[in-house]
Structure 1
Amino acid sequence: MNTVVTSKEEILKASRELIQREGWSAVNIRSVAAACGVSVGSIYNYFNSKAALIGAAVESVWCEIFHRPEDGAVFQDTQACLTWLYGRMEYGCKQYPGFFSLHSLGFMGEDKADGREKMQQTWQHILEGLCAVLRRDTKVRPDAFNDQFTAEKFADLLFSLMLSALLRQDYDPSAVLEIVRRTLY
């Protein structure tokens, strides 16, 4: 039997491990309590519902997959950033099979709106990060962006290509990197 859970992070870690082994459908208050070796009431001390637990688990998975790298230079160069993002997508697919697929996104029904919100927050954070990297990248031509073709629009395009790659489980960034080279440099 596992040691007694004393923190929210330990509960989320157990939830992530359940997701890795058995998929999203395995995550509920009882299964997480059993995985942690604690009573159901102990889980309710941290999460007031299954939806709250699922939402926190979704956020925890996203944070694990897209944690900030130790090398901050990744966020100074568009190509390095995209290479890092595609590598993290591949890591996420291996660690959490199906997490990125439409099927797994469908697990967040009406009672799981918090999970969907956490996912959308993460997506928005990634999109805003891409915009920031595009603006900081010293290799980008000064005339690359204008009123009609903004850094935001290009970041949105890059993000759309990332989502498409996630659905196809294609983690080779070479085509996207070529688009960046031809468009910005």
Structure 2
Amino acid sequence: MLTYLVNSTIMNNVQYRRRDALNKTVTSREAILAASQKLVMEKGLQAVNMRTVASVCGVAVGSVYNYFPSKAELLTATVENVWREIFHMPEGSVQFLNFADSVAWVYERIQKGSKQYPGFFTLHSMSFAAGEKETGRLKMEQYFDHMKTELCRVLKMDQCVNPEAFNDKLTPQSFVDLVFTNITLSLLEEKRDCSALIEIIKRVIY
């Protein structure tokens, strides 16, 4: 009987230690998002779900729910992190004064992002379930709007722009919209070169 009690106590202690270790493996929102991004990188956004992320982190599913109450919130946060990583510009980097160069940089970052996260740009807005798709689309539009605002800022600062390049019909904002639409179309068509777009930009505004 004594042997049984001792063994039982040992087993219970081991189980508790394993459970505690499991629950403490991930103690931050950032660690869970890092695991989600790894899944996107290796298997695509469609691979991200609560159970899979918990498995990658080595924790119980409930631990993930503590930080993200739903799959939609986890997906949205993951998408936001991916966008932020792709278009992150390190502090102290040179600020663009030339509009054509800034467009080339955006295109280059998208191309690198496409390689790092295969299918992300063409699939992520469609990877949300019916009730979640709108959230993903809005998040994508927020980042697109942010990039277009930055391109407009650089365009207005570009001292090489021909003063007569714009008028009421072709404003700096509408020009940036056209350029960005061309970037996204090239992305969908998986074009690897933006030299033609850069040449058109130079002929129009310089």
Q: Give the TM-score normalised by the residue count of structure 2.
A: 0.83
Is 1:39 aligned to 2:60, yes or no?
A: yes
Are 1:89 and 1:171, in contact at CA under 8 Å, matched by a contact in 2? no
Q: Pick one of 111, 121, 133 that aligns with 2:154.
A: 133
Cα separation, partners in 2 of 1:5 and 1:19, compared to 1, 3 Å = same
How high is the sequence identity, in percent, across the aligned residues?
A: 46
Per the alignment, residue 145 of structure 2 pairs with 124
SS in 2 for 1:13: helix
For residue 111 of structure 1, the aligned residue among 111, 115, 131 is 131
Q: Distance in 2 between matches of 1:156 and 1:11?
A: 35
Of stretches 11-20 and 67-76 in structure 1, the one that deviates more from structure 2 is: 67-76
Matched, 1:64 2:65: no
Residue matched to 2:14: none
What is the number of equivalent residue pairs in this alignment? Answer: 184
Structure-2 change in CA distance of 1:87 and 1:69 (3 Å):
farther
Does 2:100 correspond to 1:79? yes
The one-letter code sitting in structure 2 at the alignment partner of 1:111 is G
TM-score by length of 1: 0.92
Counterpart-to-counterpart distance in 2, 1:141 and 1:93: 34
Runs of 4+ in 1 over 6 A off after TM superposition: none
Selected match of 2:184 from 154, 163, 167: 163
Q: Look up the SS of the partner of 1:180 in the other structure.
A: helix
Q: How far apart are the structure 1 equivalents of 2:62 and 2:94?
A: 45
1:109-132 CA-to-partner distances (Å, cap 9, x unmatched) read: 423232222111011111111111
Q: Which runs of 5+ in 1 are unaligned?
A: none
Which whole-Å CA distance do the structure 2 matches of 1:81 and 1:155 have between them? 11
**Unaligned stretches of 5+ in structure 2?**
1-20
**Over alpha carbons, which structure has the higher Rg?**
2
Supply the distance in 2 between the matched residues of 1:74 and 1:174 (Cα, whole angstroms).
21
Report 1 or 2 for greater relative contact order, CA contacts < 8 Å, sequence distance ≥ 6: 1
> Deviations 1:21-77 (Å, cap 9, x if unpaired)?
111221011111111111212111211100000011111111111112446434321
What is the distance in 2 between the residues matched to 1:138 and 1:6? 50
**Residues 71 and 82 (structure 1 numbering): CA distance in 2 closer, same or farther, change over 3 Å?**
farther
What RMSD over aligned residues (CA atoms) do the two structures have, in Å? Answer: 1.9
1-10 vs 45-54, which moves further: 1-10
* Alignment partners' CA distance in 1, 2:97 and 2:29: 34
Task: For 2:135 and 2:96, locate their aligned partners in 1 and report how far apart those are by CA, in whole Å.
Answer: 29
